[in-house]
C-alpha cells in the first residue's frame, strides 16, 4: 500500500541558515538559549557569533563544497559552528564524540574534510589523523568557551551575508553505519532539511510561546535537526542541557513546553519519583523517536504525567518520515485520530510511504513488508558511493529504509522489525557486521556473531558470541577490553560469551534468531 499526504511546503532555493535566521524574533536581545551552566545567549549573540565564524571559514579560502568535520562536546558554540557552516555555504560533518581513532580515521579518509574541529583534549590524535589525510586546518573547540576556533573567530567581523544556496546544494553529511563494510555518508541538502523543518513546524503546531528543552546530542538527526531546527524556525527559546540527566530535565519542565527524546530518556525519567502531572502541567508536547518505544513506556508516561507521547519515525537519510498527530487529525471526523502507542503515525505531508512485499507489489492493509519512501526530505545518496546509493533506491525513486512494517486501515504506520541487521541501543545504531569484523580480527578468534537483546534501559544491547581458533584460549573480559580501545563505547557488547560453535542452518548460515532466543532474558530484572 502507498500512502501520500498532501505537501504543505513549496520548493525553496534558499540557504537553510537564511530561512532559520528569517524566523528569529524581532526582539533580538531576548533570550534564545539558556544553558544548565546559567549562561544566557540572545538571538543577537547567535546572529553575531555565526557571522564571525562564517567569516573565519570564508577567510580560509576553502574549495566549494568543503566539508567541516566536527567532533566536539555539546555546547552552544558547537551549535553556532554548525549554523556558521550553513551560513558560509559549506558542508557540516558532525561526528559522535564516542568515536575512537579507528573510526575517525575512516571518516576523515572518506569525507576528505578541509577543516577539522575537535576538543583540545583530543587534539593530539585527531590532528595526527587529519594531517595524515591532507586536512589543512585543525582547530580546537571546548565546551567551556575556549579553543583556537573561538580565538580566531573573535578576530573576524560580525557582519556577514549568508551565501546563497540552491535547494539541492549539500548542507550536511551524516555517517550511518553499514550492514556490510564501513559507514556511508548520507548527503542531505539545504532543501531536504528546510522542507522537513517547515513540515514539522506546521504538523507539530509550534506556538509562539513554546520553549524547548534540548537534552540530546547534536551529532545526529534528532538533536541536530529535529530539535534544533524546530526551536530556531519557531524563534523559540531553548533550555540547553549539555548532557541528558533525568533529574535536570525534570527540574526544567515547569519552564518548558516541548521535550524531545529517545525512549531511554523517557524510561529514565519515569524512574524519578519527582515526575508528576503537576510538574508537567506547563508542557505541551513530548516527542519520542530514533528507536521503538515500548507500549508500556507510552502507557506509563500517560498515567504518570497525563500527557500522551507523540512518536515519530525517521532516519539519517530522510530526516523525519512519519508522525503521530499533534492535533486530532481532521480526516477522522469530529473526534479526529489520536496518537496511538506502538505506531509511528502517518506519513508527514509531502512524504510518500509504501510497504512492499517480497512478491514485489504493494502490501495490503495490515500486510507486513519493507518500508519504502520518497519525498523532498529524502537524501540524494551516499557520499562517493554511487553503487550503494543505486542499491538502496528502487527504479521509481523510492528509498528502501530497511525497516519492516505495515499500514493499518486508518493509515497508521507500525514498524514491526528491520530487514537490516541493526541493533538500536539507547537511540544509537550499532551494526553487528561492524563489531563482528573487529572481533574476527582479534588473535585467536575464528568467528563471531553479535545479536541484539532486550535491555530495560537502552531498549536493546549487543551480545557477542565468539568462537576460538583450535587451541586458542579466549577471555571474554579481554575481548571486551580490546574492543573498548577501538570502538565507540555505545557499540561495545554488554555481554560476551566464548563457545565452541555457532548455530547454523542447513545452508551454513548463522541462525541469529536462535542466539537472540538464547539470550532473550539475559538483562531482565527477574532473569
* Binding stretches for ligand MLC (CB under 6 A): 216-217, 220-223, 243-244, 262, 264, 289-290, 314-316, 425-428, 458, 461, 489-490
- Cα–Cα distance between 243 and 45 in angstroms, integer? 22
Which segment (24-32, 224-232, 311-319, 505-513) binds ligand AMP by CB under 6 A? 311-319
Q: Which is nearer to ligand AMP, 115 or 488 (CB)?
A: 488
* Coil, helix or strand at residue 182: coil
Cα–Cα distance for residue pair 173/86, rounded to 1 Å: 12
Nearest distance in Å: CB 203, ligand MLC? 15
Q: What's the grid cell of residue 326?
A: 499533534
Minimum distance, C-beta of residue 134 to ligand MLC, in the bound complex (Å) = 30
C-alpha 193, offset from chain centre: 13
Nearer to ligand AMP, 81 or 221 (CB): 221
The 8-class DSSP code of residue 253 comes to G
3-state helix, strand, coil in the chain (%, to 5): 30, 25, 45
* Residue of 94, 292, 369, 452 that binds ligand AMP (CB under 6 A): 292
305's grid cell? 504525567
Q: Which of 113, 293, 285 is closest to 205 using CA atoms?
A: 285
353/198 Cα distance (integer angstroms): 19
424 binds ligand AMP (CB under 6 A): yes
Which among ligand MLC, ligand AMP, none contacts residue 376 (Cβ within 5 to 8 A by kind)? Answer: none
- Give the residue from 374, 428, 410 showing the smallest Cα distance to 177: 428
Per-residue H/E/C for 165-232: CCCCCEEEEEEECCCCCCCEEEEEEHHHHHHHHHHHHHHCCCCCCCEEEECCCCCCHHHHHHHHHHHH
Told to check if 425 binds ligand AMP by CB under 6 A, we report no
Least distance (Å) between residue 298 CB and ligand AMP: 11
What DSSP character marks residue 227? I
Query: Closer to ligand MLC at the Cβ: 200 or 283?
Result: 200
Q: Is 290 in the site for ligand AMP (CB under 6 A)?
A: yes
Say whether residue 411 binds ligand AMP (CB under 6 A): no
Q: Which is nearer to ligand AMP, 214 or 220 (CB)?
A: 220
The interface partner of residue 401, options being ligand AMP, ligand MLC, none and the CB cut-off 5 to 8 Å by kind, is ligand AMP
432 touches, from ligand MLC, ligand AMP, none (C-beta below 5 to 8 Å by class): none
> Closest residue to ligand MLC, Cβ-based?
426
**Residue 242 sits in the site that holds ligand AMP (CB under 6 A):** no
193 binds ligand AMP (CB under 6 A): no
Q: Looking at beta carbons only, is 258 or 262 nearer to ligand MLC?
A: 262
Task: State the nearest-atom distance from the C-beta of 269 to ligand AMP, in Å.
Answer: 17
Region binding ligand AMP by CB under 6 A among candidate stretches 51-59, 309-317, 391-399, 491-499: 309-317
Told to check if 415 binds ligand AMP by CB under 6 A, we report: yes
Q: Is residue 311 involved in binding ligand AMP (CB under 6 A)?
A: yes
Q: How far is the CB of 312 from ligand AMP (least distance, A)?
A: 6
Query: Minimal CA–CA distance to 36: which of 275, 187, 234, 213?
Result: 213
Please state, in angstroms and rounded to a whole number, the distance separating the CA atoms of residues 297 and 277.
16
Q: How many residues bind ligand AMP (CB under 6 A)?
A: 18
Q: Which three cell numbers stand for residue 166?
A: 540552491
User: Could you please report the per-residue DSSP string of 109-150?
Assistant: HHH--SEEEE-GGGHHHHHHHHHHTT--EEEE--TTS-SHHH
Helix axes 123-132, 101-111, angle to 10 degrees: 30
Residue 286's H or E segment, with its range, is strand 285-288
Q: How far is C-alpha 235 from the chain's CA centre?
A: 22
Which residues make up the interface to ligand AMP (CB under 6 A)?
176, 221, 289-292, 311, 313-316, 344, 401, 403, 415, 418, 424, 429
Amino acid at each position: 500500500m502507498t500512502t501520500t499526504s498532501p505537501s504543505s511546503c513549496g520548493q525553496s532555493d534558499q540557504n537553510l541558515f537564511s530561512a532559520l535566521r528569517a524566523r528569529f524574533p524581532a526582539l533580538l536581545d531576548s533570550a534564545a538559549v539558556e544553558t544548565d551552566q546559567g549562561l544566557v545567549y540572545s538571538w543577537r549573540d547567535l546572529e553575531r557569533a555565526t557571522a564571525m565564524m562564517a567569516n573565519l571559514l570564508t577567510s580560509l579560502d576553502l574549495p566549494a563544497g568543503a566539508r567541516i568535520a566536527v567532533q566536539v562536546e555539546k555546547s552552544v558554540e558547537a551549535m553556532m559552528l554548525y549554523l556558521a557552516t550553513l551560513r558560509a555555504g559549506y558542508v557540516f560533518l558532525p561526528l559522535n564524540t564516542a568515536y575512537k581513532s579507528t573510526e575517525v580515521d575512516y571518516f576523515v579518509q572518506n569525507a576528505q574534510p578541509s577543516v577539522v574541529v575537535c576538543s583540545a583534549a583530543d587534539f593530539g590524535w585527531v590532528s595526527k589523523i587529519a594531517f595524515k589525510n591532507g586536512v589543512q586546518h585543525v582547530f580546537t573547540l571546548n565546551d567551556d568557551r575556549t579553543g583556537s576556533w573561538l580565538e580566531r573567530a573573535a578576530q573576524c567581523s560580525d557582519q556577514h551575508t549568508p551565501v546563497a544556496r540552491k535547494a539541492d546544494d549539500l548542507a550536511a553529511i551524516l555517517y550511518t553505519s553499514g550492514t556490510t563494510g564501513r559507514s556511508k555518508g548520507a548527503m542531505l541538502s539545504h532543501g531536504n532539511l528546510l522542507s522537513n523543518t517547515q513540515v514539522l513546524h506546521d504538523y507539530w503546531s509550534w506556538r509562539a510561546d513554546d520553549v524547548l528543552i534540548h537534552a540530546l546530542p547534536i551529532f545526529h538527526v534528532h538533536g541536530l535537526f529535529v530539535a534544533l531546527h524546530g526551536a530556531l524556525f519557531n524563534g523559540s527559546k531553548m533550555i540547553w542541557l549539555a548532557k541528558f540527566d533525568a533529574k535536570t530535565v525534570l527540574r526544567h519542565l515547569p519552564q518548558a513546553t516541548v521535550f524531545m527524546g529517545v525512549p531511554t530518556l523517557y524510561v529514565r525519567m519515569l524512574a524519578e519519583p519527582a515526575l508528576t502531572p503537576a510538574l508537567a502541567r506547563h508542557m505541551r508536547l513530548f516527542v519520542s523517536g530514533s528507536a521503538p518505544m515500548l507500549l508500556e513506556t507510552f502507557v506509563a508516561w500517560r498515567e504518570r504525567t497525563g500527557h500522551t507521547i507523540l512518536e515519530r519515525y525517521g532516519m539519517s537519510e530522510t530526516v523525519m518520515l512519519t508522525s503521530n498527530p499533534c492535533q486530532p487529525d481532521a480526516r477522522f471526523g469530529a473526534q479526529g485520530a489520536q496518537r496511538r502507542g506502538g505506531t509511528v503515525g502517518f506519513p508527514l505531508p509531502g512524504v510518500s510511504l509504501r510497504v512492499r512485499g517480497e512478491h514485489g507489489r504493494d502490501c495490503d492493509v495490515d500486510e507486513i513488508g519493507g518500508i519504502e519512501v520518497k519525498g523532498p526530505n529524502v537524501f540524494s545518496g551516499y557520499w562517493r558511493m554511487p553503487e550503494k546509493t543505486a542499491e538502496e533506491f528502487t527504479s521509481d525513486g523510492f528509498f528502501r529504509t530497511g525497516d519492516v512494517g505495515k499500514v493499518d486501515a486508518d493509515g497508521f504506520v507500525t514498524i514491526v522489525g528491520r530487514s537490516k541487521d541493526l541493533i538500536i541501543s539507547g537511540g544509537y545504531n550499532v551494526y553487528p557486521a561492524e563489531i563482528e569484523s573487529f572481533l574476527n580480527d582479534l588473535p585467536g578468534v575464528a568467528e563471531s556473531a553479535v545479536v541484539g537483546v532486550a535491555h530495560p534501559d537502552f531498549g536493546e544491547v549487543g551480545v557477542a558470541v565468539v568462537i576460538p581458533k583450535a587451541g586458542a584460549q579466549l577471555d571474554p573480559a579481554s575481548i571486551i577490553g580490546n574492543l573498548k580501545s577501538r570502538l565507540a563505547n555505545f557499540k561495545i557488547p554488554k555481554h560476551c560469551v566464548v563457545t565452541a560453535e555457532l548455530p547454523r542452518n542447513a545452508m551454513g548460515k548463522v541462525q541469529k534468531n536462535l542466539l537472540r532466543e538464547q539470550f532473550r532474558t539475559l538483562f531482565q530484572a527477574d532473569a
